[in-house]
């Protein structure tokens, strides 16, 4: 099972990325866990200095933008 991690402090862009990632995973039928990581120290441990960011199984895939559902489907597939 994939672990999709949304890195961000809870701002509107972070929430939008969370919702888009969840929708993309659901529409692809991917069995995954989508989690928010909001602690600054935990985010920095990923080497991320700009949020929101998306990581899959601990591997950072994008930083500082909120892609749409279709783009996220490509990243998740």
Cα–Cα distance for residue pair 68/73, rounded to 1 Å: 9
User: Which among 3, 11, 27, 40 is annotated as catalytic?
Assistant: 11
User: Which among 6, 7, 14, 43 is annotated as catalytic?
Assistant: 14
The answer to whether 51 and 7 have CB atoms below 8 angstroms apart is yes
Residue 23's nearest CA partner among 74, 76, 69 is 69
- H-helix or E-strand spanning residue 60: strand 59-63
Q: Is 14 in the active site?
A: yes
Q: Is 32 in the active site?
A: no
**Which amino acids are annotated catalytic?**
11, 14
């Amino acid at each position: 099972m994939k672990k999709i991690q949304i890195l961000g402090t809870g701002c509107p862009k972070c929430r939008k990325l969370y919702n888009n990632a969840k929708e993309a995973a659901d529409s692809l039928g991917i069995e995954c866990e989508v989690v928010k990581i909001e602690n600054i120290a935990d985010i920095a441990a990923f080497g991320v200095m700009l949020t929101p960011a998306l990581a899959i199984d601990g591997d950072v895939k994008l930083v500082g933008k909120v892609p749409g559902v279709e783009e996220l489907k490509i990243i998740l597939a």
